[in-house]
Amino acid sequence: MPQILDGKVVREEIFAGLKPRIQGICKKLHRPPGLAVVLVGEDPASKQYVQNKIKACSDLGIYSRKVSPPATISTEELLEVLDGVNRDPEIDGILVQMPLPKQVDSRRVLEAVIPEKDADGFHPLNVGHLVAGRPAPRACTPAGIMEMVKYYRIPVDGRNAVVVGRSDIIGKPMALMLLAANATVTICHSRTSNLAEECRRADLIVAAIGRPALITADFIKPGAAVIDVGTSRITDPAEAARLGRTREFEQKGAAWVGDVNPVDVEKVAGAYSPVPGGVGPLTIAMLMSNTVGLAESHG
C-alpha cells in the first residue's frame, strides 16, 4: 500500500500558519483581510464551490463578500462590476468563479482583475512573475500540490517529474513550480506519443488531464509518487465496480474518480493523493494564503 497523501492534514497546517498572520493584518490595517468572490448565475456546482470558499474565510477570520450578477450579464457589464471591486479598499483579493456564461469573454474578465488583487494567480503579469521566479500570487491548485509535496517530504530536487495536462490553471504553472524546485520536468498532454512510456520515467506524476482513470499501473514506475488532480463523476455501476467505487456508488448513486485508476495505483505507487480528499482541500487553502499575502502587501 502506498503512503496516502491526505490534503486535509496539509490544509489544517496551512490554516494554522495563516491565523497569526491574519491577526497581524487586523492590528496593522484595523480590518481583516478581504476576499471578494464573483459568482455569475446559479450554476449548482459553482455555488457549492463558492460556499466552501466563504466558509473557509469565516473559519479563519477573513472578510468575504459574494458578488452575484445575473447569468444574463454582458462582458462590459461584468467589467464594470469588477472595476468597482478593484477600487474597494476593503478588498485585498478577488476571485472570479469559473466557468462564466457563454456570452461573457472569460479572458477579458480575468485580465480585468488588477494584478495586486489577483487571488487566483491567473493574471498574465502574475504568471510572468512565476516564470521569472518573482514573488506574486500563485495558481492555487499547483501551489497546494507543492505544499503537499513539502509536507510529506516527497523528494523533488533532481528528480524526474511528469505533468500530464497543459492547462493554464494547473498544468503549465505546475510545471514551472516543479522546475523552480529543481525537478527535471516533462509536460505531457492528449497529443503526447507513448504517454505511458513518458510517465514511467517519472519519480513524481501530477495527473491533471481530465480523463477518468487514464493513468493505470502501466504508467507508474514502482515507488513513484502520484498526485491526482482530476475529478470525474461516474454514473455507470459497472465502471464504478471496476474502479473500486461500488460502496460509494451504492450510497450516492454515483462515484467520483480522478485521472488515476485508484485500484492500479495502490499496487505500484510509493505515495498517492486520492480523489476525493487529496488535492481538493488545498486549492481553497492556497486561495486563503494568497488573500492573506495580498493583504500583507497592501499594508
Per-residue pLDDT of 146-177, as tens digits, reads 999 999 999 999 999 999 999 999 999 999 99
**252 catalytically annotated:** no
SS3 137: coil
Q: Which of 92, 97, 203, 221 is catalytic?
A: 97
Q: Which of 150, 44, 133 has its CA nearest to residue 97?
A: 44
Residues 168, 63: Cα–Cα separation, whole Å: 28
Q: Which of 204, 198, 210 has its CA nearest to residue 257?
A: 210
SS3 186: strand
Range list of β-strands (E), the chain: 3-4, 34-38, 63-67, 93-96, 160-164, 184-188, 204-207, 225-228, 232-234, 255-257, 271-273
**97 catalytically annotated:** yes
Q: Which of 53, 117, 172, 221 is catalytic?
A: 53
| 140-280 CATH choice from 3.40.50.720, 3.30.9.10, 1.10.10.10, 3.40.50.1000 | 3.40.50.720
Per-residue pLDDT at 298 = 83
Distances (CA, A) of 224 to 166, 169, 204, 221, 237: 21, 24, 6, 5, 30
Residue boundaries of the structural domains of the chain: 28-121, 140-280
Q: pLDDT per residue over 61-98, tens digit each?
A: 999 999 999 999 999 999 999 999 999 999 999 999 99
CATH of domain 28-121: 3.40.50.10860
Question: Who's near 231: CB < 8 A, 6+ residues apart?
Answer: 256, 258, 275, 276, 280
Grid cell listed for 193: 506519443
Q: Which of 92, 117, 118, 120 is catalytic?
A: 120
**120 catalytically annotated:** yes
Residues 121, 290: contact at Cβ < 8 Å? yes
Q: Let me know if the fold of 28-121 is the same as that of 140-280.
A: yes
Grid cell listed for 67: 458578488
Give, rounded to a whole angstrom, the gap between the first and last alpha carbons of the chain.
47
Q: State percent of the chain over pLDDT 90.
A: 88
Tell me the pTM: 0.94
Per-residue pLDDT at 299 = 67
> For residue 254, is pLDDT > 90?
no
Length of the chain equals 299
Q: Which residue do the cell numbers 502520484 mark?
A: 226
12-26: average pLDDT: 97
